[in-house]
Chain A
């Protein structure tokens, strides 16, 4: 368990093929990761990255293919076998137990944890172990009290504590601020340079790959479409390997916001309890004008979700006022219809759809109870719903087997397109969007961003909450930072600096 004496482990996956029934998720993929190297695995969602590492780690038994560990053929039938060979995986979601302290998490994860734990001895051992680690983490606190970056470091430390010297990192920075991500990857990079660790990192962030990785392998639709030294590749080449020759929607030119644009959304001194009920969020003096996109950045869990719920009327507010077009807004169906307020929440299948109802019904949620003149209808016409959905499906290019398929049978990108079709049709004065592109592939992301920009240029006021800073920098006119339930920083896009934003996200000001 000594970081200096146990050398890094080199791993090769040769000719990996994985079939689920008739579907080939992975087709003859070979990836070689020499000891002490930092290898990046690029690919879109569903390209087979997860399948590949799961085959390597023994979660799946590949249809065919071999594993070579430290130059010797190895049989890995279960994650336990992988662990015994020194292979470990750090998952995208945390696998630490929130109510246990860091110490408890580490000790109990050990295969040979003693039946009665002598905490005096364990603490001494942990202390000397941590002295050899580049990471500094408070181990005596419950994990739930740690920041996301600290949790991610603790996940890595846990694998090292268990004696793993080949780590798969599955999108390790998706919940971290840019500063946290750079620090964490820098420390990991240092360990690989010193030959203490080998890393295979799944990612879709090019800047991380270029900054930290030695080599890269790219997957598309289950096939290896490219590999090489990162030093010899640029972003464009890597993107081409990832997406092939599909057409990508272009973003409209940003039309200048009219100088006399009125503010559509005003949030004054709004207070509400957060999810835990122990802290509150306080938003004051937020204004969004017609024809601008205001981006809200923040590490997840800093109150963005609660703020969105307050705006959507899902969470009671304790004080303050929300005004839309100078009228008090209580988020009733009637008001949102009259004031043209539209919502695109995150995880649309869960938050904006009735999963088992049909595509057509889901698309008609805003209009089904109105007749042609916009008056409340007493009879609901199935034909009108179908006709309406047919035209929108064509217009927004929603791929669905039929109008009467349940919407949960659609892919993530198509669910999001269906929701966009519903929310962006008709007059839109205020659009509130949260993480619209989470988990979607390139083509869908580009198209959805283009639609949001189009709505902005069409005169809608857009409030965009996102954990993806690149998305905010691409779309916003102004960026606000939310930290600890409050808006702590504002910058126009022209002066936006990624690192300053990151520091405010981390609450360092």
Chain B
């Protein structure tokens, strides 16, 4: 049979899957990196992601343009971020508890507003066929790269640069590492964190938009499989470094593609176990990164999990 490449299909499918599956991870983890670098944790990004997916899908259906859908998701995500940041600016409020509440709130709201959009189909986000040079359909499928993946890669690079070379980047790091120092400089930690959380929410919502508008490419209530939560673990794994987030997202994406890849080459037994790979990886990452005796290297000093 032409195009039958046997077991080579597995690594190829994992590569393609890594690119496809990793995109939401990239956006959520970059968003969470901005938020955490400012000294707050937003665990509500799972809810933001689901709501972003719904908002993007609904607006794309209504307007016929997937890009307006993405924009709408960003606005909604920023709104969730602002809400989180605003609640956390009150004294003695725990950012993790607020995050969990907002996660459930975002998902509930998305299911409520999303009911009428389960049936209609929305226009998809465009992909760039980078694999056209090959005659193998597997290669072409694997290298059919969505625009948002490339945007995510560029964003990771831009953030990495910005944390070192821009005033805003340094201010976010100052606030995240020492609120006292920030106050002594006349900065308001709460304001900086408010905007950092809003930016994080907007990026996470793009991740959601990708889910509903490209892969898997439809809106339903089981769309997310915990990407928003796993991204938090991923940020720790990446040591709050945007480039590390990109690499870690690819790794998680690849792990997520393991199950489908095995299935596609005809493994019929036990591939469900491999569907659990990303979750097992999350656990392993958390265990490897934890230690009873020392603080995490590279962690922002103001983060509630490291204090």
Contacts and interface: CB of A to CB of B under 8 A. Distances in A.
Contacts of A276: 294-295
B180 A95 contact: yes
A190 interface: no
Nearest to B301: A98
B167 A114 contact: yes
A114 B297 CA distance: 29
A108 B170 contact: yes
Contact of A273 (B173, B174, B294, B297): B294
B86 to A, nearest CB: 25
A273 B170 contact: no
B291 A108 contact: no
A242 to B, nearest CB: 29
B7 interface: no
B167 A116 contact: yes
B285 interface: no
B165 A95 contact: no
Interface stretch (B73-81, B149-157, B181-189, B219-227): B181-189
A277 B178 contact: no
A356 B168 CA distance: 42
Contacts of B167: 108, 113-117
B177 interface: yes
B293 interface: yes
B166 interface: yes
Nearest to A113: B167
Interface string A271-305: 00101111000000000000000000000000000
A317 to B, nearest CB: 11
B165 A117 contact: yes
Nearest to A278: B294
B37 to A, nearest CB: 10
B177 A119 contact: no
A79 interface: yes
A276 B298 CA distance: 11
A117 B166 contact: yes
B85 interface: no
Contact of A97 (B166, B178, B293): B178
Interface string B293-306: 11101101100000
Nearest to A80: B186
Interface of A: 79-80, 91, 93-100, 104, 107-109, 111, 113-117, 119, 273, 275-278, 316
A94 B38 CA distance: 19
A275 B185 contact: no
Given A93-B180, A277-B293, 12 more contacts: A79-B186, A91-B184, A96-B178, A99-B173, A99-B298, A108-B170, A108-B171, A113-B167, A117-B167, A273-B294, A277-B291, A277-B295
Contacts of A114: 167
B264 to A, nearest CB: 44
Which residue, of B178, B181, B300, has the highest number of chain A Cβ atoms within 10 A? B181
B295 A275 contact: yes
A329 to B, nearest CB: 21
A19 to B, nearest CB: 24
A107 B170 contact: yes
B173 A100 contact: yes
A108 B293 contact: no
Contact of A116 (B165, B173, B298, B301): B165
Given A79-B186, A97-B181, A99-B300, A277 B165 contact: no
Nearest to A112: B167
A107 B186 CA distance: 14
